[in-house]
């Protein structure tokens, strides 16, 4: 593990980023920025979630991105989970998601920078414990406004369908991000989901990001439920790099 970390650090310090890396983590609000053309970006996070007697470990959840044009990126999401309920344990890869992001509107005065993200979860591309029953799409519009130097407002709206029962769920996110220094950032966020025929759930979270270089970022975050049926709380740590 130590050798892998040193290797990633070496890569990041020797890559000349055109601008600081923009990531879809650690908050639930995904960025409107796309990966520059010809660049590869990996965003991985390790998290722990607890909800009553259910404990979920994500080791890790990874978003793989590649810029194919100025405003287009291809995306793949892989997530290895371990769920512990009482004495029973499930482990393996969740259905893999394939998709893309396109930026179609730049920020101008009060108009936000706007992009569309869409994925499709493949039910059979999963470990036996997590194989789904349905091809499950999801999408969201990502919007971002610069309020002042160093202060940004990001917000998402969209929907997703479960690969296990096929039911849809609406979603929203709203986050404020502030640059404490050139390298250190902080955010606070509220987000929620509206499952079909169920009560909505809402959560809050916050965290920090730290730029080691323009192409390498670390993050730390935590969140807590404020209403509905969702994880009571979670902790997460992430590593993102671009080459």
Say how many C-beta atoms besides its own lie within 10 A of residue 179's C-beta: 15
With a cut of 90, say whether residue 114 has pLDDT above it.
yes
What is the per-residue DSSP string for the chain? -HHHHHHHHHHHHTS--SS----S-SSSSPPS--PPBT-EEEEEEEEEEEETTEEEEEEEEEEEEEEEETTEEEEEEEEEEEEEETTEEEEEEPPPEEEEEEEEE--BTTBPEEEEEEEEE-TTSS-GGG--SS-EEEEEEEEEEEEETTEEEEEEEEEEE-TTT--EEEEEEEEEEEESSSSEEEEEEEEEEEETTS--EEEEEEEEEEEEETTEEEEEEEEEEEESSS-SEEEEEEEEEE-
What pLDDT digit, counting tens, does each position of 202-223 carry? 999 999 999 999 999 999 999 9
Please state the rounded mean pLDDT for residues 34-62: 93
Contacts of 149 (CB under 8 A, 6+ apart): none
Cβ distance 192 to 200 under 8 Å?
A: yes
Instruction: Tell how far CA 17 is from the center of its chain.
Output: 21
Q: What is the pLDDT of residue 197?
A: 87
Q: Give the whole-angstrom CA distance, residue 187 versus residue 144.
A: 14
Q: What is the pLDDT of residue 87?
A: 75
Residue keyed to tokens 């999408």: 139
Phi first, then psi, for residue 6 (nearest 5°) are -65, -40
Q: What is the pLDDT of residue 204?
A: 97
Please state the rounded mean pLDDT for residues 138-146: 98
Q: What are the structure tokens assigned to 197, written together?
A: 């025929």
- Mean residue pLDDT of the chain comes to 92
pTM of the model: 0.90
Q: What is the pLDDT of residue 125?
A: 97
Q: What is the pLDDT of residue 17?
A: 47
**Percent of the chain, pLDDT > 70?**
93
Q: What is the pLDDT of residue 231?
A: 81
What pLDDT digit, counting tens, does each position of 79-92 carry? 999 999 877 889 99
With cut-offs at 50, 70 and 90, classify the pLDDT of residue 52.
confident
What is the per-residue DSSP string for 145-176? EEEETTEEEEEEEEEEE-TTT--EEEEEEEEE
With a cut of 90, say whether residue 3 has pLDDT above it.
no
Q: Give the whole-angstrom CA distance, residue 146 versus residue 127.
A: 42
Q: Give the whole-angstrom CA distance, residue 154 versus residue 173.
A: 8
């Amino acid at each position: 593990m130590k050798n892998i970390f040193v290797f990633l650090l070496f890569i990041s310090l020797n890559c000349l980023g055109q601008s600081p890396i923009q990531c879809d983590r650690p908050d639930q609000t995904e960025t409107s920025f796309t990966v520059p053309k010809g660049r590869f970006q990996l965003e991985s996070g390790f998290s722990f979630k607890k909800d009553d007697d259910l404990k979920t470990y994500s080791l890790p959840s990874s978003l793989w991105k590649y810029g194919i044009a100025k405003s287009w990126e291809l995306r793949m999401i892989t997530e290895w989970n371990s769920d512990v309920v009482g004495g029973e344990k499930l482990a393996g890869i969740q259905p893999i998601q394939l998709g893309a992001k396109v930026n179609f509107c730049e920020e101008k005065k009060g108009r936000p920078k706007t992009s569309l993200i869409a994925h499709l979860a493949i039910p059979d591309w999963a470990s036996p414990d997590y194989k789904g029953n349905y091809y499950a799409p999801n999408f969201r519009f990502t919007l971002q406004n610069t309020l002042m130097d160093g202060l940004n407002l990001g917000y998402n709206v969209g929907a997703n369908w479960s690969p296990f029962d096929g039911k849809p769920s609406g979603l929203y996110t709203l986050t404020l991000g502030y640059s404490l220094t050139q390298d250190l950032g902080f955010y606070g966020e509220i987000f929620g989901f509206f499952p079909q025929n169920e009560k909505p759930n809402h959560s809050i979270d916050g965290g920090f990001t730290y730029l080691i270089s323009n192409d390498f970022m670390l993050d730390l975050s935590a969140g807590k439920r404020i209403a509905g049926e969702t994880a009571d709380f979670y902790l997460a740590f992430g590593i993102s790099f671009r080459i």
